[in-house]
Structure 1
Amino acid sequence: MDPGDVEYEPVSVKAVLVEMKDTAELLIDLAYSAVLHGSDEVAAEVLELEERMDVLQLQARMSLLMAARNPEDAEKLAPVLGVVGATEKISDAAGDIAKIVLEDIGVPEAMRTAIPEAVETVVRAQVAPGSEYVGASLGGLNLETETGVRMIALRRAGEWIVNPDRDTTFAADDVVLLRGTEMGLSTVYEAVTGDVYEPPDPVDSTIDDLERAVDSIVLMKNMSELAVDLAYGSILFDSEGVAAEVVELEAEVDALKSRFEAWVLRAAGRVEDPITLRGLVHLASATEVISDAALEISEGVLRGLDTHPVVAAAVEESDEVIVRVDVTVGSPLADASLGDLKVKTETGMRVIAVRRDDGDWVISPGPETTVFVDDVLIAKGTRDGAARLAELAGGDESAA
């Protein structure tokens, strides 16, 4: 759809903001995955989503302008426009990252070979009319539990379903985005498409220490995602404490960007064609834009402005809620690993970060991550899951 063709029509600002938030989070995930795995197909889906975001931001702006009837209204709605603008910046940055792949701006072909095993792959698959999954729901298939593969989005007749739930069904010609290990993806991809999943052949690296660059990209991705999550969380909780964490993360992303750029410049002197590294410079710049946009989202909270009810409601009603829970004395989690207690399986919540009592962060913790008393868990998932996690942690969902 051409954003220039969008005309004003009455829409729920809250509903638009919900979709913008969920789409922005998905865009970051897909854009970095496209670069890490060198996937033109996933990168193309990023640009499809970016077009959808252009339409959403225009709808949001028009509705907000129509709602402002006097200076008092304008004052209250100005921070909402700020959130819309920041979310659009995230979308544009994700599109820039995707173009690194689609326009062959320049990334090492061997990058995929250097990806740590813990980093899952994202693939695009189109549901074949004869697929055994047609008509089946995610819950009925028990897809993630049985295969380790999660459907992160679905596009049907041009309409997106972001964060599909257990009631979401497969239909012929759906385009689905799947995340998981290559072993699990192989099984699901073949069941969905009828074709054999063939990952790209590994490429030997001609660049010394490429693993460090890949680790940095993975860390930038994780920190950018966390900054955006916390920014929306600061609005939901109306918490200056959570917003302050966004400030800290933005500073850490800036420092990481500087170190990454230094690595690229040093590596350029050791490769035959430095142009092959140009895309990595673009990636670093886009990462900074995302973290800056996260800071803009939480700026109203940092300035002590009241969060507009429509924004708070939109964050609360999005497909995934963000919660912050304190691990208290006597909690089953204390001195145990996330894997030991099967936190994700038992609660349905994904712990996306752990903040230690001394202020240090564990970004994207794994099953082996041990949790201690006074740790703060940042998690995403369903509302029911949030309640179960709070009970397990022994504390309440908190605004800090």
Structure 2
Amino acid sequence: MADEGVAYEPISVREVLTELKDTAELLIDLSYSAVLLDSEAIAGVVLDLEDELDVLGMQARMSLLVAARNPEDARQLAPVLGVVGATETIANAAGDIASVVLEEVGLPPGMRGSLPEAVESIVRAEIAPGAALVGPTLGERNLETDAGVRVIALERDGSWHLDPGAETRLRPGDAVLFRGPEDGLDAVYPEATGEAYAPPVVDDQTTEDLQRAMDTLVLMKNVSELAVDLAYGAVLFDDEEVAREVLELEAEVDALQSRLVAWTLRAAARVENPIELRGLVQIANSSEAISDAALQISEGVLRGIDAHPVVAAAVEDSDEVIARVVVGPDSALDGTTLGDREVKTETGMRVIAVRTAGARGTDDEPDWVVSPDADTPLVAGDVLLAKGTRSGADRLRDLAGQTD
């Protein structure tokens, strides 16, 4: 990409950070998915997005340099430049994870057969002329309601567009990433391509060590995505409490890395070709790089450097927040579940993670529930991380009995 000219385009700092955040999170998602699903097509998308993020990073630096007009501006924008560099580190680490598939670094057979049932598939499809999905908007077709399938990205005219909205109309030649259950993809794929969906061949050569490794990989994916999400949220909302949760998540990924390497070495003594396990070590190391980069993103907030006015003003214009809420003893949430209290309906807040109180974690240490469901129990001392409106965050604090 260095040989291609990158022109300066006026863009707000918040827009730059938001696009960097969205691209980085999708890169993490797709890189792990490429490995878990053993998909060269998805791995190829990761490398395309990595190139696009390189260009976006250069444009971000240009915007930040234009915004810096005096030494105080430079002091406040320096951490934001660090965010750009950390995002590029995330992109490189995601590319390294994807290369495990593309370069056949070595992965044990039977990985896909070891996936937890809750893990959805991702498939790349090219929209064919005359396909049923050409014409109606995504909102009109409503794939998610009908088949449980979402369009998470589409490539058009050589560029990827993330999370297309309900008003998007697919065109012939678009490359689309669908995410959903296998039966849903079986129904939707023909509407996009005019061809039958060919489900992947699943190898059931599962061992206990491999199953543990796969469970760890899925957890590393979820925790890494959460760490990056919270890190950007800490910067955008200048929230030190959220930034400190990134510290906790970084330590969690370090522990998962050690666990994955240990199980890989243990399995190496039991397989005929230990080289097949080499990719797991590369993934573990790349995962640590992602969590370290997330911590770097939130470093300015942890050091108490005030947000630059161009960031602060943009945040004030936005009603979306990330809230950190502690469940209080004898509160409305103590001893119940997210579903019992209908937290999302009552507050409008989407709980994205729960850091459980120490007594419920392994060896009396806190543990994490990423993407909790309605059955997730809550007790006093649990930390809820949720997204929504400012008023919704106040309602969630009231439920949790948090007065400050």
Q: TM-score, normalised by structure 2?
A: 0.87
- Give the conservation status (yes or no) of the 8 Å contact 2:23–2:53: yes
Secondary structure of residue in 2 paired with 1:179: strand
Q: CA deviation at 1:369?
A: 1.9
Provide closer, same or farther for how the CA distance between residues 338 and 155 of structure 1 changes in structure 2, counting only shifts above 3 A: farther
- Give the conservation status (yes or no) of the 8 Å contact 1:325–1:390: no
Deviation string for 1:111-165 (max 9, x for gaps)? 0000010111111111112111112222212221221111111111122221222
Counterpart of 1:362 in structure 2 is 369
Counterpart of 2:290 in structure 1 is 290
Which whole-Å CA distance do the structure 1 matches of 2:347 and 2:166 have between them?
15
Counterpart of 2:31 in structure 1 is 31
Provide closer, same or farther for how the CA distance between residues 262 and 360 of structure 1 changes in structure 2, counting only shifts above 3 A: closer
Counterpart of 1:378 in structure 2 is 385
Secondary structure of residue in 1 paired with 2:169: coil
Deviation string for 1:197-250 (max 9, x for gaps)? 112211132654211000000011011111111111222332221111111110
Provide closer, same or farther for how the CA distance between residues 303 and 332 of structure 1 changes in structure 2, counting only shifts above 3 A: closer
Counterpart of 1:253 in structure 2 is 253
**Residue segments in structure 2 that go unaligned for 5+ positions in a row:** 359-365
- Give the conservation status (yes or no) of the 8 Å contact 1:327–1:394: no
Q: Does 1:335 align with 2:336?
A: yes
- Give the conservation status (yes or no) of the 8 Å contact 1:352–1:363: yes
Counterpart of 1:186 in structure 2 is 186
Q: Does 1:18 align with 2:18?
A: yes
Counterpart of 1:42 in structure 2 is 42
- Give the conservation status (yes or no) of the 8 Å contact 2:107–2:279: yes
Name the aligned partner's letter for residue 336 of structure 1: T
Secondary structure of residue in 2 paired with 1:118: coil
Deviation string for 1:308-341 (max 9, x for gaps)? 24445677899x9645456687758972344994
Provide closer, same or farther for how the CA distance between residues 175 and 117 of structure 1 changes in structure 2, counting only shifts above 3 A: same
- Give the conservation status (yes or no) of the 8 Å contact 2:347–2:392: yes
Which whole-Å CA distance do the structure 1 matches of 2:266 and 2:324 have between them?
40
Aligned residue pair count: 392
Q: CA deviation at 1:169?
A: 2.2
Counterpart of 2:107 in structure 1 is 107
Counterpart of 1:7 in structure 2 is 6
- Give the conservation status (yes or no) of the 8 Å contact 2:220–2:253: yes
Provide closer, same or farther for how the CA distance between residues 153 and 89 of structure 1 changes in structure 2, counting only shifts above 3 A: same
Name the aligned partner's letter for residue 239 of structure 1: D
Secondary structure of residue in 2 paired with 1:84: helix
Name the aligned partner's letter for residue 368 of structure 1: D
Which whole-Å CA distance do the structure 2 matches of 1:8 and 1:26 have between them?
25
Which whole-Å CA distance do the structure 1 matches of 2:69 and 2:111 have between them?
53
Q: 5 Å matches for 1:45-194?
A: 45-194=45-194
Percent identity over the alignment is: 57
Aligned residues: CA RMSD:
3.0
- Give the conservation status (yes or no) of the 8 Å contact 1:132–1:191: yes
Secondary structure of residue in 1 paired with 2:111: helix
Deviation string for 1:247-296 (max 9, x for gaps)? 11101111110111111111111111111111111100110000000000
Name the aligned partner's letter for residue 103 of structure 1: E
Which whole-Å CA distance do the structure 1 matches of 2:131 and 2:396 have between them?
40
Which whole-Å CA distance do the structure 1 matches of 2:309 and 2:277 have between them?
45
Secondary structure of residue in 1 paired with 2:155: strand
**Residue segments in structure 1 that go unaligned for 5+ positions in a row:** none
Which whole-Å CA distance do the structure 2 matches of 1:395 and 1:164 have between them?
34
Provide closer, same or farther for how the CA distance between residues 148 and 330 of structure 1 changes in structure 2, counting only shifts above 3 A: farther
Which whole-Å CA distance do the structure 2 matches of 1:254 and 1:174 have between them?
39
- Higher mean displacement: 60-69 or 47-56: 60-69
Provide closer, same or farther for how the CA distance between residues 104 and 309 of structure 1 changes in structure 2, counting only shifts above 3 A: farther
Counterpart of 2:202 in structure 1 is 202
- Higher mean displacement: 275-284 or 56-65: 56-65
- Give the conservation status (yes or no) of the 8 Å contact 1:331–1:392: no
- Give the conservation status (yes or no) of the 8 Å contact 1:207–1:271: no
Secondary structure of residue in 2 paired with 1:209: helix
Counterpart of 1:263 in structure 2 is 263
Which whole-Å CA distance do the structure 2 matches of 1:317 and 1:36 have between them?
39
Name the aligned partner's letter for residue 120 of structure 1: E
Which whole-Å CA distance do the structure 2 matches of 1:46 and 1:286 have between them?
14
- Give the conservation status (yes or no) of the 8 Å contact 2:339–2:373: yes
Provide closer, same or farther for how the CA distance between residues 317 and 265 of structure 1 changes in structure 2, counting only shifts above 3 A: farther
